[in-house]
Structure 1
Amino acid sequence: MTITASPRESAPVVAPDEGRDNRAHRTRRRITSALLLIVAVASSLVLLLPLLIILFTAFKPVAEVNAFPPTLVPQDWTLDNFARIFTELPFARLIFNSFVFAGGVTLFALVFDSLAAYALARLNFRGSRLLLIAIIASLMIPFQATLIPVYQLVADLGWVNSFAGLIAPRAADAFGIFFLRQFFLSLPRDLDNAARIDGASEFRIFRSVVLTNAVPALLTIGIFTFVNNWNDLLWPLVFTTDAEMGTITSGLTLLTGPGGIIPQGVMMAGSLIAVLPLALMFLLIQRRFIESVAATGMK
């Protein structure tokens, strides 16, 4: 004979105080989540406000840009600022120069930084520690302190107003070498030893073993290098005197009129165009970057 407990007998008994505590806890959690959401939205709006100002000002006519009190959203949308940026400046050429300059520096920096970092991290040679100390010490020297001697060297080589003068002095970076060296040190040396047993050369180990596992670090250095050089103003402003060899950032300075008057709408239109390649590059790379980091973490 089987005795079955009735639903009333098997149901757990919940004390009234315990039920009120659970409801109060859920209410506090909802209030906390709502407050965090409000703070996140407010913080995002504050961070996005400069970009919104650039975006909306680029579509404002001159009268509305100079109007007081200022408005955020334009009342009369116009594309005249974008037309002027291409008529008053060789803007297509400036965009091309920016891609060649930033892309060339990034490519050479990744090659030379990774080679130097591999030598410092995986090879034992006399003076390696002293060389590393010198590289780290160079990070403490202000960029402006070396600008004049570097310019003199570039001028003596006849590289002013050339891509060689823009790219060559920045073909390697002390921070990139140090960053990649630290990442290479975190990779297990058993991988190198296994490749050597299989008869791989030192360059084959560097290319197929170390670089393959250092994709997140290479992407990080590549993004930082490209963005820093794309947005750099002083370097192309010093090493180029011809408007046809300038970059977007240095070319926008040519918009300053007599008395320091700046056409804000045209300037914002140029700045908006300058931001778009960086935004597209980030959208295209971020998935690969996250996947590489996740794969490295699982290893």
Structure 2
Amino acid sequence: MTQPLTLGRVFRLALLSLGALIFLAPYIFMISTAGKDQSEIFSASLSLIPQHFAYMANFTKALTRVSMPNLLLNGVIVCGLILVLQVVVAVPCAYAMAKLKFGAARILMAAVMLGLLVPIHAAALPLYVAFDKLALLNSYTALVAPFSISVFGIFLFLQFFRAMPDDLIHAARLDGMSEAGIVARVIVPNAWPAVTAFAIFSVVAHWNDLFWPLIVVTNQSYATPPLGVLFFLAAEAGDDYGALMAATLIITLPLVIAFLLAQKRFVEGITMTGLKG
């Protein structure tokens, strides 16, 4: 049954539409610029619809001037490895803190909260020196290892697991399951909304990360998508902003598609992590 179109509802819809338009404006401008040639981009008039569609030429440049498939593959490998390691570490840690009784629980909770306050920038120099000494620069290890433990992931799963009924875990223990079996066969199957929500956060953050790859990668064979765009701009594109916007569109499109496909699970995960059991 549709709701009546009241003045308050019209105002809310207009406000939400305006907010969405503000947030989408850069992406809309990027799509528009990706279809323009150089002369039109720097013309005095501003038009979102290209006068002469140059999408084919700009996308051809974006795909040929740098190894775009290799950049996308590196992004998938790095983000996938980071996500798997983060979930494998965070789920058991969060389960132990949420459902097991032990003396160091409060200390670990304080450590998690403290870890949320420490940015990667603070540890960048010692990590770089360590990877240099181990001859691991320009490798997937250097790109993945510093992010294998996510305190944000532990905190997110902790809130989710606290909302799960204790009776479910007690029943599993009565059936003779070990704690590892409970995590694998009870906790994880019921935690997919939280895992999906965390996956969106993790993949978006590391797919778009430029700071750390810029430090540890100088070989284009290991370049992630944002670093590849930087190489593209610096070495090949020059002031060819149409091709640059086409390259950026190619790199950001997988994230947009992934979010649209997972948005229902994402909202469920965020909503349920706010519940208290």
Taking structure 1 as the reference length, the TM-score comes to 0.82
Is residue 2:93 matched to residue 1:107? no
Report what 2:31 is aligned to: 55
- Equivalent pairs counted in the alignment come to 270
Q: Indicate if the aligned counterparts of 2:197 and 2:265 stay in contact, CA closer than 8 A.
A: no
Kindly tell me: are residues 37 and 181 of structure 1, through their superposed partners in 2, closer, same or farther at Cα, counting changes over 3 Å? closer
Using the alignment, how far apart are the partners of 1:253 and 1:289 within structure 2?
A: 30
Is residue 2:182 matched to residue 1:205? yes
Structure 1 residue identity aligned to 2:116? L
Give 5+ residue unaligned stretches, structure 1: 1-25
The Cα shift of 1:226 comes to 0.7
Is residue 2:38 matched to residue 1:98? no
Using the alignment, how far apart are the partners of 1:33 and 1:254 within structure 2?
A: 48
Post-superposition CA distance 1:101-130 (Å, at most 9, x none): 111111111111112112222223342321
Map of 1:121-200 to 2, 5 A cutoff? 121-200=98-177
Q: Indicate if the aligned counterparts of 1:85 and 1:91 stay in contact, CA closer than 8 A.
A: yes
Structure 2 residue identity aligned to 1:106? L
Give 5+ residue unaligned stretches, structure 2: none
Is residue 2:20 matched to residue 1:44? yes
The Cα shift of 1:290 comes to 5.7
Q: Indicate if the aligned counterparts of 1:60 and 1:77 stay in contact, CA closer than 8 A.
A: yes
What is the percentage of aligned positions where both structures have the same residue? 33
Report what 2:199 is aligned to: 222
The Cα shift of 1:256 comes to 3.3
Larger Rg: 1
Using the alignment, how far apart are the partners of 1:40 and 1:117 within structure 2?
A: 35
Q: Indicate if the aligned counterparts of 1:252 and 1:270 stay in contact, CA closer than 8 A.
A: yes
Kindly tell me: are residues 137 and 41 of structure 1, through their superposed partners in 2, closer, same or farther at Cα, counting changes over 3 Å? closer
Report what 1:242 is aligned to: 219
Kindly tell me: are residues 292 and 31 of structure 1, through their superposed partners in 2, closer, same or farther at Cα, counting changes over 3 Å? closer
RMSD of aligned C-alpha atoms? 2.6
Is residue 2:40 matched to residue 1:64? yes
Kindly tell me: are residues 283 and 155 of structure 1, through their superposed partners in 2, closer, same or farther at Cα, counting changes over 3 Å? same
Specify which of 119, 126, 149 is matched with residue 96 of structure 2. Answer: 119
Using the alignment, how far apart are the partners of 2:165 and 2:47 within structure 1?
A: 58
Taking structure 2 as the reference length, the TM-score comes to 0.88
Specify which of 43, 50, 69 is matched with residue 74 of structure 1. Answer: 50
SS at 2:69 equivalent: helix
Q: Indicate if the aligned counterparts of 2:200 and 2:266 stay in contact, CA closer than 8 A.
A: no
